[in-house]
């Protein structure tokens, strides 16, 4: 009985490995069209759901949007932590508050993108992804033009924008 359980376990692991490689191939094919293929590939394959859920291009796009959303949530938490500093200058605080609102908007827009993707409404996905990109570009503009330029937040903005553009690129390939 132990041998049967061991063989069964080995078969399951092998099937998961083969399925994972097939998914990785599909993900690689999509990501090679990205401006940053390495980021595209790593952001999708590092998501826990990519191994079991990424069977179709639509599912891969949902994972790509989820990766952007997770990034936005983490950045929102980073900004919140910065805002908890009581020694902030008013101009820096204003900039960070604007960026915080922009990131909250972006998370909502990405959630709307996922809902649209589940409804197979690619045109709506495009609209919501572009709205999320616009929100974070506004944060970047605020960082560049006003007090409070934060190098880490600027870098986080760049990564977020790339993640959204990757999802947008995948969406365009599906339409």
pLDDT single digits (tens) 89-122 = 888 899 999 999 999 999 999 999 999 999 999 9
In a domain, 80, yes or no: yes
pLDDT at 122: 93
What SS3 class is residue 48? coil
Instruction: Answer yes or no: is 47 within a domain.
Output: no
Residue 173: pLDDT band (50, 70, 90) is: confident
Instruction: Let me know if residue 34 belongs to a domain.
Output: no
Task: Name which residue leads in pLDDT, 103 or 10.
Answer: 103
Would 26 be classed as within a structural domain? no
What was the pLDDT predicted at 4? 34
Q: What is the pLDDT of residues 31-89, one digit of tens each?
A: 999 999 999 999 999 988 777 666 788 889 999 999 999 999 999 999 999 999 988 88
168 inside domain? yes
Residue 14 lies in a domain: no
Is 169 a member of any domain?
A: yes
Model confidence, pTM: 0.82
Question: How many structural domains is the chain composed of?
Answer: 1
Confidence (pLDDT) at 56: 80
End-to-end CA distance of the chain: 51
CATH of the domain at 143: 1.20.140.40
pLDDT score at 154: 93
Res. 174 pLDDT band, cuts 50 70 90: confident
Q: Supply the range of the domain harboring residue 78.
A: 65-173
In angstroms, what CA-CA distances link 1 with 4, 9, 13, 100? 5, 12, 18, 57
Q: Is 167 within a domain? A: yes
């Amino acid at each position: 009985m132990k041998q049967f359980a061991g063989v069964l376990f080995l078969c399951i692991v092998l099937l998961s490995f083969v399925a994972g490689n097939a998914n990785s191939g599909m993900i690689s094919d999509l990501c090679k069209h990205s401006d940053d293929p390495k980021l595209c590939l790593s952001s999708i394959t590092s998501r826990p759901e990519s191994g079991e859920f990424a069977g179709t291009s639509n599912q891969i796009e949902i994972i790509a949007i989820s990766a952007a959303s997770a990034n936005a949530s983490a950045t929102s938490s980073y900004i919140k932590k910065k805002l908890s500093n009581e020694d902030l200058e008013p101009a820096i605080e204003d900039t960070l508050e604007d960026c915080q609102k922009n990131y909250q908007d972006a998370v909502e827009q990405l959630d709307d993108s996922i809902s649209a993707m589940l409804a197979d409404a690619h045109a709506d996905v495009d609209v919501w992804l572009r709205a999320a990109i616009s929100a974070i570009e506004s944060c970047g503009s605020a960082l560049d033009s006003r007090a409070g330029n934060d190098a880490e937040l600027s870098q986080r903005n760049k990564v977020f924008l790339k993640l959204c553009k990757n999802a947008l690129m995948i969406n365009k390939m599906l339409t």
